[in-house]
Structure 1
């Protein structure tokens, strides 16, 4: 056979000495074919270099072999936030092992999710994993309207929220941060939150306040955006209050914000942990390599990525047990607190 010619299923069937239907069943992995015929077809596939026609296979299986990862965030955040990039890398790794293609879908800047939903409805993907969604009016509802299997990394808080989600126990994470600060003698704490239209940021604040409230402490609150820019702004706002002794400990709700605030304080001559104790969240490699290394709530991208991928595939295969996954929080202790 000339190299330029595409090997067909008929060629495989002829070489294996079986019918086209039998060759097709073996290629699809169907049961009901004898071991002898299966070996013959597999040998013919290998010898001829047969590659199944993915379009034809999709028509039969009603699967495209493609999963979308939807991130309804501004472009600059997607490529600068280590939590987002590493979560996507983990999902890609698990999908690659299953020979499933990943495509990235970005939300519209208005945050409504309509453009992403339109793409999901066009039949190009079998399902979607949504990361870093907000409580914008209609965002979750728009994505769910695509009528596809969808899993959220981060608990959604829309009306009649879907239960297909995977999340860190962020309330517990906030509690652990507060408990550590109290253990280290902090009595005048502040918190740099994430955007409070996100459940994760709100939950971390809730757990933090809960523990401090039981000690009669009301923390100073600065709302950030899970970005370095917002961490720097919060760090600058807190610096004079740290210098005066008004603030003696800070919980920054992401490593990215904590590292930016730390840089500001170092420029002002403030020392961590001597002048202010610092706890962060995400436990990235950058947090471990900081000076000083940051005590941080572990936000395990590998666990979240695998759990979301497994959940989505089980929904697609009709084997999901209907239960969300809440990952326990733990604190990695280092020199900053």
Structure 2
């Protein structure tokens, strides 16, 4: 065979001593081929330098080899929130290992997800992973209407909520934060929540209140937005009450908000944990590097990203067991509380 000739599947089958159908099954990764024949085909592929015709394969399988990651957040938050960027990086790595292309879709909030849904319907992608969705009326429903597999990172709430989601056990995260503050002696705690139209923020608040309610404590609540700006604003609002002794412990529902609040308190001469104990959630690298290092509930982007890509691939391959994935919460204790 001349080097300029394109190697075909028939060439591979001939070299391996198998039928074309068997060679095709091995190249596609199908099961049901003996180990001996699989090895022979793989050796022929390597020696001949065979490259599968992805366009032809797509026509047969109706797969594009592309997955969308949808983030219904403002652009500035997508690129400044460590949780979002780390989760996308993990998904990208996992899809790359499977030779699947990732495309980003920035979902519109004003249109309740309709623009993103319109794109997902056009046949450009095989499936979608949605991160950081809100409980806007119709947002989840719009995305679920696209008739392609969709996996949510974050438990969705809709009229007919799907089971295709992975999430941290956020209720337990709130419980762990409350328990730690109580263990450290806090008796007048506050919570800086994320946006309460997000399930994660609502669940962390629920777990926090549940533990404190058992000992007759009703925490002070300030609603943030999972942003540094909202964390600093909440920190500044709490500062006079910390100075007066009215507040002695704070659970900030994300590292980003906790770090911003910490900076606001430092500017006022308030010290953590001497003047106020602080617990956060996410356990990103910034939490461990803070001064003082933050006690934080782990929100493992590697586990969530891998679980979401595995679930989506299982749905596409029709091997999914139909069950969501709930990741147990774990508290990393450091100097802030």
Deviations 1:48-105 (CA, angstroms, capped at 9, x unpaired):
4332121110111222222211111111111111111111122222222222222211
Q: Distance in 2 between matches of 1:51 and 1:176?
A: 52
Alpha-carbon distance between aligned partners in 2 of 1:209 and 1:25, rounded to the nearest angstrom? 55
Paired residue for 2:150? 150
Match in the other structure for 2:320:
320
Structure 1 stretches of 5 or more lacking a match? none
How far is the alpha carbon of 1:213 from its aligned partner? Answer: 1.6
Residue-by-residue CA offset, 1:7-29 (whole Å, 9 max, x unaligned): 44456567668776565455334
RMSD (Å) for aligned C-alpha atoms:
2.3
Partner of 2:75: 75
C-alpha change, 1:188 and 1:57, in structure 2 (3 Å) is same
Q: Where does 1:111-130 land on structure 2 (aligned, <5 Å)?
A: 112-130=112-130
Residue 45 of structure 1, CA deviation: 3.4
> CA-to-partner distance for each residue in 1:114-162, whole Å, 9 max, x for gaps?
1211121111221111110000011100110111111111111111111
Matched residue, 1:85: 85
The equivalences for 1:30-69 within 5 A come to 30=30, 42-69=42-69
Instruction: Report the counterpart of residue 336 of structure 1 in structure 2.
Output: 336
Name 1:303's counterpart in structure 2: 303
Q: CA deviation at 1:308?
A: 1.5
Q: Which residue of 2 aligns with 1:260?
A: 260
2:161 corresponds in structure 1 to: 161
Deviation sequence 1:234-271 (CA, Å, 0-9, x none):
11111111112111111100000000010111111110
Structure 1 residues 216-227: aligned runs within 5 Å: 216-227=216-227
268-277 or 110-119: bigger deviation: 110-119
CA distance in 1, matches of 2:320, 2:14: 41
* 1:169–1:328 CA contact under 8 A, matched in 2: yes
| Residues 244 and 102 (structure 1), Cα distance of their counterparts in 2 relative to 1, 3 Å cut | same
Distance 1:33 1:250 in 2: 59
Q: CA 1:49–1:335 in structure 2 vs 1: closer, same or farther (change >3 Å)? A: same
Unmatched tracts of structure 2, length 5 or more? none
d(CA) in 2 for partners of 1:111, 1:252: 30
Query: What residue is the counterpart of 1:236 in the other structure?
Result: 236
Contact 1:72 1:111 in 2 (8 A): no
Cα distance change, pair 330–29 in 1 and its aligned pair in 2 (3 A): closer
TM-score by length of 1: 0.92
Q: Which residue of 2 aligns with 1:202?
A: 202
Contact 1:72–1:133 under 8 Å retained in 2: yes
**Structure 1 residue 277: deviation in Å?**
0.6
1:186 partner SS: coil
Give the TM-score taking structure 2 as reference length.
Answer: 0.92
Tell me the number of residue pairs that the alignment of Structure 1 and Structure 2 aligns: 337
Structure 2 residue aligned with 1:186: 186
CA displacement, residues 159-181 of structure 1 (integer Å, 9 cap, x when unaligned): 11111111111111111111111
